[in-house]
Structure 1
Amino acid sequence: MRVLVTEDDENLLLAVTTALRGAGFAVDAAPDLPQADEALHVNTYDCAVFDRMLPAGDALDYVRRHRPPVPVLFLTARDSVTDRIAGLEHGDDYVVKPFSLEELIARVRRLCLRAVPHHPPVLHCGDLEVDTARHQARRAGVLLTLTAKEFAVLTLLVTHQGTPVPRTTLTTTAWDAQVDPGSNVLDVVIKQLRRKLHDPPMIHTLRGVGYQITPA
């Protein structure tokens, strides 16, 4: 799941992006509205997090004018009833500063899952079960120990099981930015997934295309 975070406070931006990445999200960071607007036009996100008061203006006004095609969560120190109502009318969630990073992660995950309602929270591919809500995967009932990137790649493959998933789709979804085409980071993750899934093999290489998962 990919998230855009727009916050002009460098320390808070670092804390939020670090926490979300640690929870398995791919995160893009923007310090202002112009960069956020550009990112929203170039990339596809499952959730956008906006600090309300930014150098170029109120993010709520931006969302009201442009209405990004993605669930929006506002972060703000403005906690009046009027502000809360406005945030919920024009966004999808509203978190008042200071806030718990654990709570923010839970709220972002809920919005991301809302963005793809056609995917059930628990995905199945043969004897493989991927629980996107609990961030767990099991094969034949055995819990797999996966890194955040391994879980992200596996979830995407299972979501599109039986269909080839291009390398670029996997890298742009599971990583924070486009991975260098010459990098082997995706190959390393796939190798680790194959090892952890054990036999019979489920993930297949389609040379020149990407990878595909099928029931064993």
Structure 2
Amino acid sequence: MRSLLPLVVLPLLALAAPPTSPTITRLVFSGSGCPNDSGSVKSDTATIGDSAGVSFTQLKGDTTDNCAVHIQSAGASEGWQVAVRQVDYVGDVNLKGNSGLDTYTQVFWSENAGNTVNSHHIKAEWRNADDIQGVLTGGLACAGPEIKDYITVRSSTADLKWSKCTGADGNPGILNVNFRPVVQGDFGTYDFKHAAWKLEWRRC
């Protein structure tokens, strides 16, 4: 029953998407799991509303990769902020023996596309002091003999990192999401197909 408590409290703290959600105007990506010239990441949604997401075609491996996605948008109702509360990654995972899959998602908002720095290291530094950052972690453990399934790895946070307040242009800033899966232990592979982000809005 404790897990139901946040569902009761959260609506009092945040609102649904504004009357007009921002339309995605540009999506840029890079990393070992989604090279920027590969065309391997596509947006699943045309807007950033209560949720948003992307599809992958090359985010697969047996050790670790990263995929950094940068989404620009405009046209939202004026006077709103948005934050990422939850991320779900869906795909094929195979773990054998004593092994595990850890996931790390670094989320931040930036003002200038030139300030979005991609890295192959989860402990990357983004050098713009104005960036608002947060890290969500999740994972899956195998105690043996094997996990082989199409699964969802979910992580969430109560420490919301809010975008800037939308102005007349309805631009909340650039949403930057850097995802890294990491295989630990005896044996593991992953092939992630989709990412879904649960978003929350508030008046500002």
The verdict on a shared fold, with TM-score over 0.5 as the criterion, is: no
| Structure number with higher relative contact order (C-alpha < 8 Å, ≥ 6 residues apart) | 2
**Which structure has the larger Rg?**
1
TM, length-normalised to structure 1: 0.28
Tell me which protein shows more strand as a share of its residues: 2
Tell me which protein shows more helix as a share of its residues: 1
TM, length-normalised to structure 2: 0.29
